[in-house]
Amino acid sequence: MENSSICDEIRENLRVIRENISEALDRYRSGGKTDIMAVTKTVPAEAVNCVFDMGLNLLGENRVQEYQSKAERYDKRAEVHFIGHLQTNKVKYIINSMKMIQSVDSFKLAQEISRLSSVNNKVMDILCEVNIGGEESKSGADPEELEYLLEQISALDGVRIRGLMAIPPPGGSDIYFGRMQELYERFKSEYNMNILSMGMTHDYVQAVKYGSTLVRIGTGLFGARNY
Ligand SMILES: *Cc1c(COP(=O)(O)O)cnc(C)c1O
């Protein structure tokens, strides 16, 4: 497929997503706002680059290596957040290219991010990832331990807590979205949070209903991951 037709498809997908978000906001959160992040895993840089002319410049990266292999070809307008599971020993590879790290789920990881940020004379924006469904297979902090984790992390000089991130369990139960909203409301003013990152292709409308300020969309934007 030539690039313009790939972009046409993505443009149409984005139009529908924006419409759905705007309807959900009207219905449930009048006056509210939810941003869209384009999740790029397995998507070629050329296809990712379609979004910048559509008023979207926020990218979500899952894997350090994949990001490194594509970063050079991304449009210069890209603002990149790391959203995948991050090993402490890989922080050094992304510390200077990320605008935010959304997947901070332990004090040890936060400490390493803070240490390397300080070395590089910067302060990294972070979100704390919460394993809201208590699923074995997922990373994220235990909701019961979030309060203590936030308290510990807030003492670090090289990171700035901006909010919470979650991947609620599949199945679409409202319970987990509701719990994330409660946690966010509980800690928001104490830690000056302004981002609740939840909602993906299959559940972003529900996430908007429960206060998400940032939805992360991959397949719904770029199509199925079969490149
Ligand atoms: C892959 C991924 C997404 C996007 O998933 P889709 O279902 O393709 O929209 C969002 N967030 C994270 C953390 C992901 O790994």
pLDDT, one tens digit per residue, over 177-222 is 999 999 999 999 999 999 999 999 999 999 999 999 999 999 999 9
pLDDT tens readout for residues 17-67: 999 999 999 999 999 999 999 999 999 999 999 999 999 999 999 999 999
**Candidate from 61, 80, 83 with most ligand 1 atoms within 8 A of CB, to mutate:** 83
Q: 220 in ligand 1 pocket by Cβ < 6 Å?
A: yes
Q: 56 in ligand 1 pocket by Cβ < 6 Å?
A: no
Structural element, H or E, at residue 24: helix 3-28
**Strands, E assignment, 42-191:** 58-61, 79-82, 100-104, 124-130, 159-166
Joined together, the tokens standing for residue 55 give 């008023």
Predicted local distance difference test score (pLDDT) of residue 3: 65
pTM of the model: 0.96
Beta-carbon contacts of 20 under 8 Å, excluding residues fewer than 6 positions away, are: 204, 205
CA–centroid distance, 165 to ligand 1, in Å, is 12
CA–centroid distance, 149 to ligand 1, in Å, is 24
